[in-house]
Amino acid sequence: MVMKQAQLLNGKALAQRLQSELKAQIQKSQFNRLPGLAVLMVGDNPASAAYVRNKERACANVGIASFGQHFQVEVTQSELEQTIHRLNQDERVDGILVQLPLPEHLDGVALLHQIDPDKDADGLHPTNLGKLVRGEQGLRSCTPAGVMRLLQEYQIPLKGKQAVVVGRSILVGKPLALMLLEADATVTIAHSRSQDLGAITRSADILVGAVGRPGLIAADMVKPGAVVVDVGINRVIEASGSSRLVGDVDFDTVQNVAEYITPVPGGIGPMTVAMLLQNTVTSYLQRHQ
């Protein structure tokens, strides 16, 4: 039997286009300064360092100034809070992001509370999450916003459809479920404790894997014709010793069942970065109104 392969939802291509649009938008804005983004990173987690480099490179490409700071792992909570307060006041800074995860001794939630909600490029401040719950305008979390933007680009119908989000994190699962609900999908949030996960995921017209476990979503958990979005970013070590990036979806088998599928890499990762830049530019434009 010849199986039809799913069509790729190409996040990398869309992210590149969005970045050129942002670049053009910044060039024609003609304010007396560029937009500015401050990424705060603590310690030397190699994955985080790579993400931060990606973000700063993307900023440079579109014309956003970087005010990032890299702290030693020994930095104190109060040093970080002071830095955030200073960036809140800094007229050149439109967006502030604290790269997660943080070392054990730091309280990330307390730090998020200190960020000016109008500069919350990550959309993780309680004010912005609260606005999302209420359906009010506000800065939206980057990864879930990237998922929604990619689905929109491929004109995936959401209204009245069954959407299942596997994962309930504050970074992805919860806000994404709210955004899908806002788009009139019928939303189920499943997670690591859900009983008979396969029965739940097989009901999904739109299935999102956002747990961070390689291969969690296997082909027998997917309804034929479903749209499968893979938010997982897992680095796995091959038998050869080299490392490879994989998502939560068993891509090779699921692509024979799904109608659409996002690849890893090249799917939601680049969309996350594009939404971060977009939030920064939105905040920049609002600051000049």
Residues 17/150, Cβ–Cβ less than 8 Å:
no
Instruction: Flag whether 200 is marked binding.
Output: no
Cis peptide bond prior to 214, omega within 30° of 0? no
Residue 97 found at the interface with ligand GUE (CB under 6 A): yes
Output the DSSP codes for 248-270. Answer: SB-HHHHTTT-SEE--SSSSHHH
Q: Tell me 120's DSSP state.
A: B
Question: What is the pattern of x (binds ligand GUE, CB under 6 A) and - over residues 175-214?
Answer: ----------------------------------------
Nearer to ligand GUE, 206 or 273 (CB): 273
Task: Based on the shown chain and the rule CB under 6 A, indicate whether residue 265 belongs to the binding site for ligand GUE.
Answer: yes
Contact 248, 217 (CB under 8 A): yes
Residue 62 makes contact with ligand GUE by CB under 6 A: no
Residue 264 beta carbon to ligand GUE: minimum distance, rounded to whole angstroms: 6
C-beta of 112: minimal distance to ligand GUE in Å?
9
108 is an annotated ligand-binding site residue: no
User: What number of residues does the chain have?
Assistant: 289
Residue 99 or 223: which CB sits closer to ligand GUE?
99
- Please tell me the count of residues contacting ligand GUE according to CB under 6 A: 19
Region from 75-83, 132-140, 218-226, 262-270 binding ligand GUE, contact rule CB under 6 A: 262-270
Going residue by residue from 126 to 155, which x/- string records binding to ligand GUE, judged by CB under 6 A? ----------------xx------------
For residues 210 and 166, the answer to whether their CB atoms sit within 8 Å is: yes
CB-based contacts of 97: which residues, under 8 Å, 6+ apart? 37, 38, 39, 40, 55, 121, 122, 276
Calculate the alpha carbon distances from 251 to 112, 162, 193, 204, 267 in Å: 34, 21, 23, 17, 12
Q: Which residues lie near ligand GUE (CB under 6 A)?
A: 50-51, 54, 97-100, 122, 142-143, 233, 245, 264-266, 269-270, 272-273
Q: Which residues are catalytic?
A: 55, 99, 122
